[in-house]
């Protein structure tokens, strides 16, 4: 997809700034970012690929500090 090429340079810079050797990029482009074409079969809630991670509370001051640190490295 055309978007992937435009995202990769930014992701590489972020990975370098964060010293991340390994990372995943989840990208949905259409239908309000839930993907335009159903590439991965997901017939129901229990079958097919599911991507979930636990929600966490965030310390906004720490998040802002991290943002400024990463931005300075880019």
pLDDT digits (tens, 9 = 90+) for 4-40: 567 888 888 999 999 998 988 877 666 676 666 656 6
Average pLDDT of the segment spanning 46-53: 72
Residue 8: in which H helix or E strand, if any?
Answer: helix 2-17
Residues 6+ apart with CB under 8 A from 11: 23, 25
Residue 50: in which H helix or E strand, if any?
Answer: none
Average pLDDT of the segment spanning 61-71: 93
Determine the pLDDT at residue 24.
84
Query: Under a CB-based contact definition with an 8 Å cutoff, are residues 41 and 34 in contact?
Result: no
Query: Under a CB-based contact definition with an 8 Å cutoff, are residues 11 and 23 in contact?
Result: yes
């Amino acid at each position: 997809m055309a978007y992937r090429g435009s995202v990769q340079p930014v992701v590489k810079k972020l990975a370098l700034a964060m010293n991340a050797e390994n990372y995943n990029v989840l990208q949905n482009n259409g239908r309000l970012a839930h993907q335009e074409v159903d590439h991965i079969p997901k017939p129901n809630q229990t079958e097919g690929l599911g991507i979930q991670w636990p929600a966490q509370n965030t310390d906004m001051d720490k998040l802002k500090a991290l943002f400024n640190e990463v931005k300075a490295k880019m």
